[in-house]
A and B are shown apart, each in its own frame.
Chain A
């Protein structure tokens, strides 16, 4: 018997003034599963994420979600930190907003920052952090509430390759702690295959599913995973589906 999905998009369609942005599109996220959404620019990947998070509603179709508000977290492309708050207060913010006492929120925020390797920077402001460090603070903020559903919207797009790879491993290590369902949007096929157990390829806008591939291998990934024949073959397969999806 399989677990009920944490969140599900059922034949959703999203129309904007400029026309159809997404759909018809269906996607179910199993508990603890990591799903990557890849597709050409403007195919509606981020729209699908916003639907899952409840930040937007579909024009048609249905969105089902079992986690409550506090159990969903999002990491955006930019770290999206409040510049006037320290790293610790930024991370503690979701806890404080949900009614937790400030002292307890700060204690848990410090622990979350420690977990992402930023124990030394809890008093730093976002402007004093590098791009990679700021993104780690953003990850810590997303994970401090121990969400059941975590969404990452091109979280590493603005970072250099080495930082991207380190952060990908960090996300997987953090995932292993609390095993939320993760859905993340990326332009990088390699990143999608490395981080996800399932890659969903969207076609050119309005996005529909062009193909869906499972990725074999343990999560978090063992060292040298990128050089395995299985990884290379899956990257090739996803790229082929993506190329087909680009044509619409």
Chain B
């Protein structure tokens, strides 16, 4: 009980101490607000911009989630194809790796052209999907090959066909790997959506990146910080939600 309370209290106390030191430093050293606003100013900006920040946060989150769904569908379909044919695996894997190591900012201008200059949201979703693709693909491919070798032998012994082996053994065996892949990919999709918005612009869907850019252009640093705080909180909540989902999923998979 005491330990649990400490687990919660310790980071809160550290944050409070750091914020206090930051506030004091700004006041004592009279740091200009455009350079480093005090936490109280950031708090005030958070309250003042609450409505627009919430809309922007939803825009960014919805684009990231759309990207996650798209990358999940494509990555799993490709992983299945790869699992069914060693030749296709040899063909597809290098391309997947190239896609993974290419920085999203480098391909952004191209994707913006393909998505149409008037549709930056599409470009953002596509770019975030590219970033989120690899962990799901790689997790699915690893998972599809991770079945217990003795269970594989039993399936040999029972004369299981390829489809039976895929549906009854390899797909269920891959579930923990898929969940881990999705957890990593969700964070990357959010990062991808923000980076893509910086590069592609945001059009009608003004996300958090747009808020940061806009406030930066006007040297309203407190508002930049406010958008960053929302982005950080959103990322942490998304991660916590997916960790919880993974834990529940694994409990269901293992039966306890």
Q: Are A and B interaction partners?
A: yes
CB distance from B106 to the nearest CB of A (A): 41
Q: Is A55 in the interface zone, CB < 8 Å from B?
A: yes
B157 touches A72 (CB 8 A): yes
State which of B150, B158, B253, B255 has its C-beta within 8 Å of the C-beta of A69: B158
Cβ < 8 Å to A, chain B residues 156-184: 156-160, 164, 168-169, 172, 175
The dominant DSSP class at the B interface is helix
A125 touches B158 (CB 8 A): no
Q: Is B256 in the interface zone, CB < 8 Å from A?
A: yes
Question: Which of A77-85, A112-120, A165-173 lies at the interface with chain B?
Answer: A77-85
Q: Is A158 in the interface zone, CB < 8 Å from B?
A: no
Cβ < 8 Å to A, chain B residues 228-256: 253-256
CA distance in complex: A77, B253 (Å): 23
Q: Is A98 in the interface zone, CB < 8 Å from B?
A: yes
Chain B 137-158 interface mask (CB, 8 Å, partner A; 1/0): 0000000000010110111111
B150 touches A97 (CB 8 A): no
CA distance in complex: A112, B175 (Å): 29
A69 touches B157 (CB 8 A): yes
A residues within 8 Å of B by Cβ? Answer: 53-55, 69-70, 72-74, 76, 78, 80, 82-84, 86, 93-94, 96-98, 124-128
Question: Can you sample 23 A-B contacts with CB below 8 Å?
Answer: A54-B157, A55-B156, A69-B157, A69-B158, A70-B159, A73-B157, A74-B154, A74-B157, A76-B150, A80-B148, A80-B154, A82-B169, A84-B253, A84-B254, A84-B255, A93-B158, A94-B154, A97-B158, A97-B160, A124-B255, A127-B255, A127-B256, A128-B255
B residues within 8 Å of A by Cβ? Answer: 148, 150-151, 153-160, 164, 168-169, 172, 175, 253-256
Please provide the 9 A-B residue pairs with the shortest distance between their CB atoms, ordered closest to farther. Answer: A125-B255, A80-B150, A97-B158, A69-B159, A84-B172, A76-B150, A94-B158, A127-B256, A127-B254
